Amino acid sequence: MLKNWINIFFYHIKNNKLFTVLNVLGLAIGIAGLIFATLYWNDEQSYNEWNPNKDTVFQVLVDMEDGKVWNNIPVTMAPFVKDDSNIEEMMYSENWYQSILYKYNGKKIIVEKVFNAENNFFNFFPFEFIKGNQKTALQNENSIAFSQKTAVLFFGTENPIGKQIQYEDQILTVTGIYKVNGNSAIAPDAVVNRMKAKINADKEEWGNFNNGWYIKLKDPSKAHELEAKIKSIFYKNKIAKEAKEEGITIKQYEAQFGAFNFYLEPLAISRMDTKGPGCPEGKGNYQFLLIMIGLSVLILILSIVNYVNLATANALRRAKEVGVRKIVGASQSNIIKQFLFETIITVIVAISLALVIVELSLPYYNEFLGKELIIYGSQFFLEIIIIFVVTVIFAGIFPAFYVSNFETLKVLKGNFGRNKSGVWLRNAMLILQFAIASFFIIGSYIVFQQVQYLGNKDLGFSGEQILEIFYFKPDAIRNDKNSEQLIFDRYTTTKNEVSKIKGVEQVATAALRFGGGNDSSSSFAYKGTNIQGQNIAVDFGFLEMMKIEMIQGRYLDPKIASDTINSMMVNETALKMMKEKDPIGKTVDWNGNKLKIVGVVKDFSLFSPQGKVPPMVFFHFKTIDWMIGNLNYLYVKVNAENTAQTIADIEKFWVKNVDSDYPFQYDFLDKSYKRTYQTYVKQKNLFYLLNVVVIVIALFGLFALASYSIERRMKEIAIRKTLGAETNVLLLELSKQYILFCIIGFLIALFPVYYLLNKWLENFANRIEISIYPFIIGFVALLFLTLVVVLSRAYQATRVDVLKYLKYE
């Protein structure tokens, strides 16, 4: 039986090479898309799966009702909850990766992902220990644990345990080597225990939300009780006191400054469902994941529809075969099995081809996602089997039943080729294909418009010819008693020297990074409104150099003494929130400093062009002296001529005089800023690529279907021609139904595309409104392509020899 089925299957393949190839290719592309989405999904879902504590370890988050949820908490809390019976243990950390340069044996290596946590870190993240003891690895403050691959960089094949490495002016001893098996919310290259000083410095500071706080619970179901407890401790020690000082009730305080809500969030959901900013490895882009899955499912549907359409259309040609098989004894179930068998083989081939496509394009996909996905794992193979079964069911069951229901007698009497049954279904599917194609064409055009809008948006600053140079501050300086002065002096010297280099037009800085934000935010009250402003300390001349304009008042001026003492500026957004018509000269109480407004800065993009401009306050580094600690970049304007030489000169100077350890890292600001919306550029490109795929598959389906349907109507065409129909009348006759389907499909797509793309555009504070153009362009494009395909087929049909079809039968 199998052999017989295979024989006939291969016969059809041989005689319909083009359609078979396109059909399999269409399915393969659809399946490949789904495999890509699945790999992505698996990777995201696998975060923390390995961690036995994923349900008992909680990260404490705080919602300050300013639109952001933070994952940093004051370290003052721990002593108040340490006796809570539900807490097994707690750990404070610096909740981000630090990039630190270590020296060993003359080697200088920057370890990109160093995590600083209290010594019980490995009880929360029990990585596999290859060398050393997990329990005692971080016991001492001068100990460091390395990941295996980092250790190899330093020590090669030597045993790393006990080796001493140099960190600035200190010596650290390697006490452990671990391996991170699987995706982890925190997957550091090295772990250090240097929290004691940080905790000591902040131990009375209820307002310093500086550190990540991880808590392991005995009974995770009672996490909410602890949330409430933390909140009440915070209110008792911070809010109640401040409200008292202000002479208002806690309710009034909350109304004015916003409430503080604390959450305990288990590691298990810290990747995909977190309310906060995620752990150091970042949080998953859930929306993008859904988009990927949605689009790939659409493409798979498209290719399955193609398959079904072709299979049923083709079945008419095979009607005789089915009839004969039935007569010589095949039962209906037998015919169903045969056609399912063909689908199964096709799908197996398509899946194999899909796997090849995935394997070959995985590197590009990984680059696109910034991941290291591999085709592997029992879960993945299970999913492949599910994809297989689902595809076979949807692609195979219908045609098989359709064919098996052919009435033997009608089939054998001939004339079955013009059978109408199943036509409505093929047409419905064709409409569905048109709808999906419309969705993609319109959608990708809207995405294109939005991304272009971001690219062309006036950022409010000019990054042209501006170098952004990473400016490292050694611990020795940072931790010095006099650190503010030291940093400022060091900066001033550097600035003066760099300014002298030929080609350098200006050097300035501010405690911010364009596209990266500014790491500091304080609230201040003005006329009863609370404003959570972004704090930006600047050097003289910085705003002018960046071509950031003033709306009112003036820039800071080195000649005016008060500008380093009590002058401040606000931006437009802040001014709007302050509701002050005449801000110049008004005084603001900012964290206990009485500052006088001297200017209003025009809004410029701080984080990324898609985000809203936050309220910002500006002052000179000297005015609020601790702000100098946030100075991380130097901005240098260079002459457009001989830029390369100028950069080389700066580098030479830098390595010699500023920092001999850290490599000279710079970028052109306009280039680095573009990366802030890189994700969306990538999404646009993805949408484009998928668009092409979808259109190709849909057009192929249309082509095949039009061919079949015209073939069925050949006798009609021949009669019409005999009766004197002209070519263009025939062409209209043959294409009009497809034009109708095209319009219906387009109309069906309208609402979903409008709704979903609007949802997507909600990601952007600066967004386009959906105009009519994408729809017009989409419709015209679709109609044009439809006509090209259908007319080419129809034209061929009108050229045929009339006699051949009239004599037939």
Regarding 11 and contact with other proteins (CB under 8 A), the answer is yes
Q: Are 542 and 558 in contact (CB under 8 A)?
A: no
Smallest gap from Cβ 338 to other proteins, in A, equals 11
Q: Are 253 and 243 in contact (CB under 8 A)?
A: yes
* φ and ψ of 438, to 5 deg: -60, -45
Instruction: Report the residue number, 309 or 338, with the smaller CB distance to other proteins.
Output: 338
Residue in 478, 62, 4 with CA at minimum distance from that of residue 263:
62
Task: Give the count of beta carbons closer than 10 Å to the beta carbon of residue 806.
Answer: 14
Stretch that binds other proteins, among 98-106, 404-412, 598-606, 764-772 (CB under 8 A): 404-412
Instruction: Report the residue number, 58 or 341, with the smaller CB distance to other proteins.
Output: 341
Instruction: Report the residue number, 278 or 323, with the smaller CB distance to other proteins.
Output: 323
Structure tokens, 467: 């170098």
Regarding 332 and contact with other proteins (CB under 8 A), the answer is yes
Smallest gap from Cβ 710 to other proteins, in A, equals 22
Smallest gap from Cβ 313 to other proteins, in A, equals 17
Smallest gap from Cβ 797 to other proteins, in A, equals 24
Regarding 808 and contact with other proteins (CB under 8 A), the answer is no
Smallest gap from Cβ 694 to other proteins, in A, equals 33
DSSP string, 435-465: HHHHHHHHHHHHHHHHHHHHHHS--SS--TT
Please select the residue that binds other proteins; options are 139, 170, 181, 334, rule is CB under 8 A.
334
Instruction: Report the residue number, 168 or 407, with the smaller CB distance to other proteins.
Output: 407
Smallest gap from Cβ 336 to other proteins, in A, equals 13
CA distance 73 to 60: 7
Smallest gap from Cβ 750 to other proteins, in A, equals 40
Q: Terminus-to-terminus CA distance in the chain, angstroms? A: 33
* φ and ψ of 534, to 5 deg: -85, 125
Smallest gap from Cβ 748 to other proteins, in A, equals 35
Smallest gap from Cβ 12 to other proteins, in A, equals 7
Structure tokens, 610: 């898609």
Instruction: Report the residue number, 8 or 565, with the smaller CB distance to other proteins.
Output: 8
Please select the residue that binds other proteins; options are 4, 164, 252, 492, rule is CB under 8 A.
4
Q: Are 549 and 602 in contact (CB under 8 A)?
A: yes
Instruction: Report the residue number, 37 or 330, with the smaller CB distance to other proteins.
Output: 330
Instruction: Report the residue number, 405 or 492, with the smaller CB distance to other proteins.
Output: 405
Instruction: Report the residue number, 228 or 324, with the smaller CB distance to other proteins.
Output: 324
Instruction: Report the residue number, 327 or 476, with the smaller CB distance to other proteins.
Output: 327
Stretch that binds other proteins, among 136-144, 331-339, 435-443, 577-585 (CB under 8 A): 331-339
Residue in 216, 215, 213, 218 with CA at minimum distance from that of residue 86:
218
Please report, as a single letter, which amino acid is at residue 64: M
* φ and ψ of 227, to 5 deg: -55, -50
Instruction: Report the residue number, 16 or 645, with the smaller CB distance to other proteins.
Output: 16
Site string for other proteins, 253-292 (x = CB under 8 A): ----------------------------------------
Regarding 139 and contact with other proteins (CB under 8 A), the answer is no
The size of the chain, in residues, is 809
DSSP class of 656: I
Residue in 279, 292, 232, 282 with CA at minimum distance from that of residue 259:
232
CA distance 335 to 347: 18
Number of residues in contact with other proteins under rule CB under 8 A: 24
Regarding 8 and contact with other proteins (CB under 8 A), the answer is yes
* φ and ψ of 386, to 5 deg: -65, -45
Q: Are 297 and 31 in contact (CB under 8 A)?
A: no
Task: Give the count of beta carbons closer than 10 Å to the beta carbon of residue 97.
Answer: 19
Please select the residue that binds other proteins; options are 162, 207, 370, 414, rule is CB under 8 A.
414
Give the CA dihedral 85, 88, 93, 95, nearest 10 degrees.
-90
Q: Are 112 and 251 in contact (CB under 8 A)?
A: no
Stretch that binds other proteins, among 10-18, 395-403, 621-629, 670-678 (CB under 8 A): 10-18
**Strand ranges (E), 53-86:** 57-63, 69-70
Please select the residue that binds other proteins; options are 12, 612, 674, 767, rule is CB under 8 A.
12
* Residue 428: exposure state from Cβ atoms within 10 A (0-12, 13-18, ≥19): middle
Strand, coil or helix: what is 80?
helix
The region that residue 173 occupies, defined by phi over 0 for left and psi between -120 and 50 for alpha, beta otherwise, is beta
CA distance 739 to 392: 31
CA distance 271 to 284: 5
Instruction: Report the residue number, 328 or 723, with the smaller CB distance to other proteins.
Output: 328
Smallest gap from Cβ 341 to other proteins, in A, equals 13
Please select the residue that binds other proteins; options are 330, 395, 432, 537, rule is CB under 8 A.
330
Structure tokens, 429: 């599917």
Please select the residue that binds other proteins; options are 21, 386, 409, 765, rule is CB under 8 A.
409
Stretch that binds other proteins, among 135-143, 406-414, 495-503, 638-646 (CB under 8 A): 406-414
Stretch that binds other proteins, among 11-19, 121-129, 529-537, 628-636 (CB under 8 A): 11-19
DSSP string, 467-479: EEEE----HHHHT
Stretch that binds other proteins, among 5-13, 611-619, 738-746, 777-785 (CB under 8 A): 5-13
Instruction: Report the residue number, 333 or 722, with the smaller CB distance to other proteins.
Output: 333
Regarding 17 and contact with other proteins (CB under 8 A), the answer is no
Please select the residue that binds other proteins; options are 259, 412, 428, 565, rule is CB under 8 A.
412
Site for other proteins in 691-730 (CB under 8 A): none
CA distance 664 to 496: 18
Smallest gap from Cβ 310 to other proteins, in A, equals 17
Site string for other proteins, 355-394 (x = CB under 8 A): ----------------------------------------
Stretch that binds other proteins, among 9-17, 188-196, 458-466, 513-521 (CB under 8 A): 9-17
Instruction: Report the residue number, 80 or 401, with the smaller CB distance to other proteins.
Output: 401
Smallest gap from Cβ 3 to other proteins, in A, equals 8
Site string for other proteins, 300-329 (x = CB under 8 A): --------------------xx-xxxxxxx
Instruction: Report the residue number, 170 or 331, with the smaller CB distance to other proteins.
Output: 331
Burial 303-331 (b: 16+ CB within 10 A, else e): bbbbbbbbbbbbbbebbebbbebbeeebe
Residue in 17, 37, 25 with CA at minimum distance from that of residue 356:
25
Residue in 585, 410, 449, 475 with CA at minimum distance from that of residue 101:
475
Containing 217, the helix (H) or strand (E) segment is strand 212-217
Regarding 16 and contact with other proteins (CB under 8 A), the answer is no
For the chain, helix, strand, coil in percent to 5 are 55, 20, 30
Smallest gap from Cβ 1 to other proteins, in A, equals 5
Instruction: Report the residue number, 194 or 326, with the smaller CB distance to other proteins.
Output: 326
Q: DSSP alpha helices (H): ranges in 107-164?
A: 121-124, 148-155
**Strand ranges (E), 170-217:** 170-179, 190-192, 212-217
CA angle 379, 382, 384 (to 5 degrees): 110
Smallest gap from Cβ 17 to other proteins, in A, equals 15
Regarding 1 and contact with other proteins (CB under 8 A), the answer is yes
Instruction: Report the residue number, 31 or 400, with the smaller CB distance to other proteins.
Output: 400
Q: Residues in the site for other proteins, rule: CB under 8 A?
A: 1, 4, 7-8, 11-12, 15, 320-321, 323-332, 334, 408-409, 412, 414
